[in-house]
Structure 1
């Protein structure tokens, strides 16, 4: 059993020192709560609502820059795994990226494959698979925000044996009908239930240039129900839940069904590649 934390941070575009300080404080709070894995939001170093690509470029940094390097120091000091998002500069191009670090250093960098709205004017989409990394906790997969809305992408890490999917996100708020919760939470719950794995979502708070946020930080269990959160309040928060990799490796749904073995890829071998005619 491993204690997992998700940190909901108040981030601000153009204030990297303040943003790193917020992440540092959240990691300290998670450590005090006994967490061994900490998930941080999307674009921690830079904030999200850029005036354009030029502004993002002034805030971007390489994977060995100050933000990820600080996460490595924190991971070594506390024997942690940290997963968080950052604005990355790589070979002159900007990526909406996510790093995983542990006491041994940088383990993986994932570059967001599915870009949302104005992100397409700023970032180059990643062209590699979502990583599934063997760690002391178990097998951790990595995704950023809008990636979670593509079932084929999520299924790919489920089939690769992920025990937990770490999602760094900045979910923008949108109108929600009375009595309902944001549908983005349903994506996290369905991802967990349909793959029988944990899904740890670190969202953000603090309105930025007129954009508000879902503030949906949460940890979903392998049956799709929340173990912690969602916060759904515009405030910083650190949530923790105890996660058992054994539960994530049991893919049975009752005595006769299994979320992976029951698939019928013979009927839909190319379903992920088809685009309906318009």
Structure 2
């Protein structure tokens, strides 16, 4: 069942979204050559505590995972697409980093992700990240009452494919609200004009994921969580939590 949120519930989700934005900004600012991924997780925990919020990710156990997630951020580096577990790995010059984060305040969740480069960037990495962001913006622009879920999916996929990037078929966006993952699933490719009709009050997390090498296939890390491109090419992942309203899409995870 898809729950339509009231204006008051959207305001509560916006509060959670502001915490998400603050954490992502703090983590990106802290990320530098030589910094451990675990250090970035500690930065996120500090902001959470300061804002009186809870992690949406810590101890989360979806059906595909063998163990609960042990951190508050997903930290995916270079060929890791999503769900990277922070560890003692130190960031190196030129690393492409994707940070995914969710926060929960008073039972309402927000979820967003950013990708960035530490140190001296490769032009190809900057183009990959910029394309993912452009796909996210294009998808958000379609989120109007009366449009279809396929319009969102098509907006993401068309931009990724035009750039020659791969797209992991089994992972994408999702509904969000009282739970971090709610119906419906939001794929990153689809047919415009098809699928569930969008209604005011729906809230969706939209998250383009692109593989630079052009292949869609991936492998699962031994920990059962992190997804890696099969060809070892780099990946980018960006995300916002967005409400569909009669006045147009409202991004709840902006600063």
Q: Return the TM-score normalized by structure 1.
A: 0.29
Larger Rg: 1
Larger RCO (alpha carbons 8 Å, 6+ apart): 2
Structure that is richer in strand per residue = 1
